Amino acid sequence: MWETDRKSQGLLVSALCVLIISMAPRLLVHITFHDSNVSTVHGRPAGGSKGSLSWRDFAFDSVRRSLQEMESASAGYSAFSRIDAVVDCNEENAYQERLRRWRADRPDGSRLSVRVASHARDAMRHPFALAWMHRAHVAASLEQYDWFLNTEADTLVPGAAVAAQLALASPLYERYGRILGFVRAVNDTSGRTLLSDNTRSVGRAAVVSLSGLGTFVAPPNSFAAAWMYPRAVMTSFVRSRSWGPVPNSPKGMRERAAWGWRDGPAILTPVELIRGRLLGELGV
């Protein structure tokens, strides 16, 4: 009898473990990675500084670093039971095979899967349209994932930023109808971290305190070349006019895709993340 009870308890524990694992959220990631596959034209850099070989190598290394961050046990990404990353490349991209080899070298049992999606030139009216190639896949995957992340190749979304999204994004949207956004930062040659898109302080009217969540600010420029939404936000975004189609003009084409739901609910950022930078002159 005791042996039977022990076996039953063991089966129950196993079932609970499977249930807990299945309840852990899943993340779909799309990374836009364009490469001209040409570093020089008639002895001069192609496409300015972003066409140089050093920049092209930097962009590839940035993508690889982002994937390594997702694969690591860092806070934020470790909360997901599975992360499926798609690297959207133009068909001329010279780094596709290196990305595929990197993927093939991943250890068995890794939570991270990586797929390189090569998009034909004929499928895009302009190279900037590559930034929109994630749209169809994301819209068709709403029921398969709990979270969605989109970023450009040279932008790293660290695990700490993901942890903030997991803690705040859903209640911020469900209770207050706001979206949690990122702010883009860069390190200068002295090692200081500076905001790259917001260089002026904002007035106190931009600061809002939301019960149970904390204090937030609406940054003057909410562009961060990356966005991350839970399924509820993503579903509303996909159904909105902001989702598509691809703009006819190349002006702002890439930025619109990388901005996220810019024309939707207000985009807020926790004050603690930018204290002393955007709000430094206010003493907030």
Q: Say which range, 59-63, 118-122, 204-208, has the weakest mean pLDDT.
A: 204-208
- Per residue in 187-245, pLDDT (tens digit) is 777 777 767 777 677 777 778 999 999 999 888 889 999 999 999 999 999 999 999 98
Cα–Cα distance for residue pair 33/63, rounded to 1 Å: 8
Q: What is the mean pLDDT of the chain?
A: 84
- Determine the average pLDDT of the residues in 84-105: 94
CB 81 within 8 A of CB 24: yes
Residues paired with 147 in a beta bridge: 27, 230
Q: Is pLDDT at 11 greater than 70 in this prediction?
A: no
What is the reported pLDDT for 278? 40
CA-to-CA dists, residue 36 to 121, 237, 253, angstroms: 12, 31, 18
> What's the pLDDT band for 21 if we cut at 50, 70, 90?
very low
What is the reported pLDDT for 14? 44
* pTM to 2 decimal places: 0.85
CB 35 within 8 A of CB 155: no
